[in-house]
Amino acid sequence: MDLCKLNKIIQDAGVGSNALGYAPELLEKIDSLDESKYSALLKQLASARDEGDFRGRVLEVNFAACFEKNGISLQYGAKQADCTGDIDFLWQLDRSGPGCLNSFPDLLSGSPDGLVMRQGASVNSFYAAAAIIGNNCQYV
């Protein structure tokens, strides 16, 4: 993808002109993603039909780039057994090794820049929210 194509995608989605000013930074993140691995995401971004759809895809690009930049591999569009839908991102953890959920708080010291992790009621119940907060990570 090049900047002209991204600008056209932004305009076709009806996104405000301010978004065009951020297109070069977004393009860097898009270019950092493995095209074969994230082809479905990139196709969805390219065909965004409205502002909400576009912004959702941009969030996913930011999320994926945040992890991938730090060497954490994600699977996009993972299928769930006996379910018709898919999971936007799957991050597989080895429950027996250093990435197991029992040591999840220790894992956060290496979490991607700009990622805020929130722990739920138990260590096995957590969710991750992407937040672009510079190069800092927080555990709350």
pLDDT at 116: 45
What pLDDT score does 95 carry? 52
State which H helix or E strand residue 119 sits in. strand 115-119
Can you give the pTM of this predicted structure? 0.66
pLDDT per residue as tens, the chain (140 positions): 999 999 999 999 999 888 999 999 999 999 999 999 999 999 999 999 999 999 999 999 998 998 888 888 888 888 777 777 777 887 776 555 444 444 444 444 444 444 444 444 333 333 333 333 333 444 33
